[in-house]
């Protein structure tokens, strides 16, 4: 698959079929993604992969915790700093488009809560990934993890699989750390669903827009 085709075909999938993904294929995707660059080649990515009973246990524990306790967000690192423009408008647009496809009316808090909870079921994807990184590496470790995740998503797409990166998983990092036995020395940065898209689900028709080049790039010294 040409890299541009993979980039254009990849999008966040929020409803998966139950079809399992063979372990060898998951391993191949993760290994290929490790061709990603990292600052001074530290290769700090740690990936905790769950399927079957391990996946089910993680889901059950996080959902049970979520029913009774507030999110852990912010206790380890600040996921969302003060929301400001132009980011706020982009977030709102995504939310509006997604909830409209899901048929959830604005202000329906209960339905919102349930839908956000789908993150913690990996949107039914048979494979869940949790990414962690050594705390000592600071912000550059987050950069490296992000690059690895994007490479992984493209490699998965090139092999006919779909993904959704899920920052939602760092809302309940304390439960995830306990269940997956992730050391205190590592930040739980993000989660990801991996599997085959349910092509019949309206939410998967969501197309998120991109800002024009001029809004984020500046050029100097070309003439």
Smallest gap from residue 124 Cβ to ligand FMN (A)? 13
Nearer to ligand FMN, 180 or 206 (CB): 206
At its nearest, how many Å lie between ligand FMN and the CB of residue 151? 13
Which positions from 2 to 31 touch ligand FMN by CB under 6 A, shown as an x/- string? ---------xx-x-----------------
> Candidates 19-27, 63-71, 132-140, 164-172 — which segment interacts with ligand FMN by CB under 6 A?
164-172
The only residue of 168, 175, 197, 203 in contact with ligand FMN, by rule CB under 6 A = 168
Task: Closer to ligand FMN by CB, 23 or 116: give it.
Answer: 116
Residue 61, SS3 per DSSP: helix
Site residues for ligand FMN, 203-222, by CB under 6 A, read 208
Write down how long the chain is.
223
CB of 34 to ligand FMN, least distance (A): 19
Question: Strand 127-134 and strand 46-50: pairing?
Answer: antiparallel
Q: Does 125 bind ligand FMN (CB under 6 A)?
A: no
Contact 203, 162 (CB under 8 A): no
Contact criterion met (CB below 8 Å) for 206 and 101: yes
Name the DSSP letter for residue 79: S
The residues in 26-85 that bind ligand FMN, with binding defined as CB under 6 A, are: none
Q: Which long-range contacts (CB under 8 A, 24 or more apart) does 63-68 make?
A: 63/117, 63/120, 63/121, 65/172, 65/175, 66/117, 66/120, 66/172
């Amino acid at each position: 698959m040409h890299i541009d085709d993979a980039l254009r075909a990849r999008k966040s999938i929020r409803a998966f079929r139950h079809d399992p993904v063979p372990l060898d294929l998951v391993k191949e995707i993760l290994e290929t993604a490790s061709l990603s660059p990292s600052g001074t080649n530290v290769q700090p990515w740690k990936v905790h992969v769950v399927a079957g009973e391990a996946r089910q246990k993680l889901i059950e524990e996080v959902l049970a915790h979520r029913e009774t306790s507030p999110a852990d967000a912010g206790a380890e690192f600040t996921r969302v700093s003060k929301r400001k423009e132009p980011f706020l408008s982009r977030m709102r647009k995504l939310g509006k488009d997604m909830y409209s496809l899901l048929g959830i009316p604005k202000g329906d808090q209960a339905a919102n809560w349930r839908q956000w909870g789908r993150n913690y079921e990996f949107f039914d994807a048979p494979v869940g990934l949790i990414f962690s990184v050594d705390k000592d590496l600071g912000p550059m470790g987050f950069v490296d993890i992000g690059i690895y995740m994007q490479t992984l998503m493209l490699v998965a797409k090139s092999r006919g699989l779909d993904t959704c990166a899920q920052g939602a998983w760092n809302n309940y990092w304390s439960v995830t750390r306990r269940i997956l036995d992730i050391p205190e020395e590592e930040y739980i940065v993000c989660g990801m669903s991996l599997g085959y898209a349910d092509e019949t689900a309206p939410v998967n028709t969501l197309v998120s827009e991109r800002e024009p080049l001029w809004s984020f790039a500046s050029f100097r010294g070309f003439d």
